[in-house]
Amino acid sequence: MCRNLRSAIGVATLAAVLSLGASFALAQQTVPIGGGDRYLPVQSLTYDFGSKSANGYFVQEAGLCHVVLLVGDRVDVDAAFLPTPVRVRLALEPGQTAGLDSEEGQSLNFACGQKAGSLLVSRGATEELVAAACANRAGCRRLARTPQ
């Protein structure tokens, strides 16, 4: 009986690990759609744009896409000094878009989907993404960069 119990526990443990692994693999996949990647709530997202990197997720709450990102310099693992990222929190209404721009002219757009059920992330040239985000919004314009 002890041997049967151990076998049953072993099989149950293996099944749990395999199902957890399959769930994790599915959660990491994105479905590419017209110019970007669509994410479901709590799916991990990672993007490099110019010299910056963004890692995060979003959750659906109160009809909004609540996006949480860690944004910082791309990391050289051999460097003696590792830069400290900043946390960015966004609350987007369905149909609303927010963007992050790098100094090198590369950007990310985050667009909240219908009923806040998905998040569309697009990566590309800043001018193109700003134009795409403003295409259906009256009075939308890019903020001027501060000269350095």
Q: Is 70 exceeded by the pLDDT of residue 133?
A: yes
CA-derived radius of gyration, the chain: 20
Between 6 and 73, where is the model more confident?
A: 73
**Mean pLDDT of the region 93-122:** 95
DSSP conformation class of 138: T
Between 147 and 69, where is the model more confident?
A: 69
pLDDT at 138: 57
Per-residue pLDDT of 53-76, as tens digits, reads 999 999 999 999 999 999 999 888
Tokens coding 19: 């199902």
Residue 23 has a CB neighbour count (10 Å cut-off) of 10
Q: Is 80 exceeded by the pLDDT of residue 47?
A: yes
Per-residue pLDDT of 9-25, as tens digits, reads 333 333 333 333 333 33
pLDDT at 136: 61
Sequence-ordered strand ranges (E) for 17-142: 31-33, 36-39, 45-49, 52-61, 64-73, 86-92, 97-101, 106-112, 119-125
